[in-house]
Amino acid sequence: MSKQVKIIVEPDNKKGVFPKGTTLYKALHTLGISMNASCGGFGKCGKCLVKVLENAPPTRESNKMFISSTMLKEGFRLACQTKVMKDMRVFVPPETKRRVSQTIYGRGKRVTVDPLIKKIYLKLPFLTISGDFAYFDMVKKRIGDKLHPNLDVLRETTCISKEATFVTYKNEIICIEEGDTTSMSYGIAVE
C-alpha cells in the first residue's frame, strides 16, 4: 500500500504528491495556493472551503459547523480539517484564495508581502508649493508618472522638506511625512 497520495487542483491545474495524512490546507499551501484562513488552519473560521471532486473523505464535526449537509454531500470540506488519505481532485473557489498569504505555514520560510500601502523615501531640493506644483512634478519623475497626490495632501501641504517619505496607496500619494519614516510602517487588519 502506497504511503503517498496525489492531489490535482482545479482550476489552477496544479499537481503534487504528498505523504498520506497531510492536511489539504498544507498541501495546497505547498503547491503555492494561498488560502483565506484567518484562524491559521485550526478549523475555527470556516474560510478555507474547497470542493473535493474525487475521493471526498468522510466529514468531520468541525466541517459540520461551517458547511451545510447539502454542501457536505456535494464534497465541500474545510481544507484545514481534511486529511488526504487517497488520491484526490480538488476545486478551490476564487473566494477561498488569497492574493497575499495571511498565514505562514511552517518555519523558516521566506514570505514576500506586497502591501497596498507603501512608503517611498526621497531626497529632493527644498521647494514651496506654488500654483504650478513643480515639486510634485519632480516627485513624479523620481517615483513614477502613475502616482499623483491626493487632493487633501495638496491642500494641507504648503511647504515640504528636502527629505520626505511619500506614503502611497495604489497610485495615489495619501500622506507626506518629514524625513525617512520607511522603517515605521505598521498596519492592522480587522475583519
Average pLDDT over residues 55-66: 84
Higher pLDDT, 191 or 79: 79
At residue 132, the pLDDT reads: 47
Q: How many helices (H) and strands (E) does the chain have?
A: 5, 11
What does residue 125 show for φ and ψ, rounded to 5 degrees?
-65, 145
Q: Which residue has the cell 511619500?
A: 166
User: What are the residues facing 51 on neighbouring strands?
Assistant: 76, 91
pLDDT bin (cut points 50, 70, 90) of residue 135 is low
| Mean pLDDT, rounded, for 157-175 | 76
Domains of the chain: 4-96 (3.10.20.30), 117-178 (no CATH)
- Quote the pTM value: 0.51
Q: Which residues are CB-neighbours of 99 under 8 A, at least 6 positions away?
A: 34
